[in-house]
Chains A and B, each alone.
Chain A
Amino acid sequence: QKEVEQDPGPLSVPEGAIVSLNCTYSNSAFQYFMWYRQYSRKGPELLMYTYSSGNKEDGRFTAQVDKSSKYISLFIRDSQPSDSATYLCAMSDTGANSKLTFGKGITLSVRP
């Protein structure tokens, strides 16, 4: 079993739709949870960052972490064509081993 599993996609939605992206993980030591957005031929851009459990909202984006279920989500409201990109979940623990473990990423396409 991979440490981090992410729905493989791709995902295509109409403009204005609510998008739900999800990841599950197996390592209970993970405490830091991040979502990155990566446009084609660019580096990943940090979109959302959460420590431990709970929700975090930033504009049209909401990140949720459910540590009891080992499940994290990213919601995008009122999706725009500019949201078309690959979304990667990433997580790490709190020790000296602070490497990020990534999901494989899901490619989202928002149709005008």
Chain B
Amino acid sequence: KNQVEQSPQSLIILEGKNCTLQCNYTVSPFSNLRWYKQDTGRGPVSLTIMTFSENTKSNGRYTATLDADTKQSSLHITASQLSDSASYICVVSDRGSTLGRLYFGRGTQLTVWP
């Protein structure tokens, strides 16, 4: 069964600290993995997209890694800010967007305290 599991379910950190969110998937065949940030009451916004051949990608203070062999990804947030408080969603595609299906994780709810 194709699934995407994220951990932890929720996380609280202090402003300025780093954190790492995890995503494990069983989706096969694998096409790409995406991380989205969703602020409360808003739509998800793309942070990174990685294909099979990419094992790391950065977007400012966000760095995503991908290990296609172990089917694991992580999202590392550096020097957290209050505005980083949001749900972070891992999404895996089993093919390109034309024919592929997207599998969504339930997200990790990150809260950054001052």
A binds B: no
